[in-house]
Amino acid sequence: MNHFRRIFAAVATLAGAVLTFAAAPAAFAMRVPPPGEGSGIAPPPPPVRVIAEGGMPGWQIILIALAAALVAATTAVLLDHARAARKIHAPAA
């Protein structure tokens, strides 16, 4: 079983490294103006009016969070009981 854990750890590390290097070019990207355009400083963007209407009420967010916590706790307890049932106990002497 330890062998599988090592393989999983190596694959997870490699996947993390690949994702890091794939996201790095986008993080360091910058807009370069075409040649011959002024001083190179872009004018500020026009103001944007944001009108927020609607959305989800707070009680619904709390209800979803509580349901997710209950499902996670129930799953953890069931998995713990299943794992404990599979253990081989030493006979009492």
Q: Which amino acid is at 56?
A: M
**What whole-number distance in Å separates Cα of residue 93 and Cα of residue 83?**
24
Number of domains in the chain: 1
> In the chain, which ranges are E strands?
none
Distance CA 93, CA 15 (A): 49
Q: What local confidence, expressed as pLDDT, does residue 15 receive?
A: 79
Model pLDDT, residue 71: 95
Residue 44 lies in a domain: no
- CA triple 65-74-86, angle to 5 deg: 150
pLDDT value of residue 72: 95
pLDDT given at position 34: 62
Residue 16, domain extent: 2-39+56-86
Task: State the pTM of this model.
Answer: 0.39
Query: Is residue 45 domain-resident?
Result: no
Segments in the chain below pLDDT 50: none
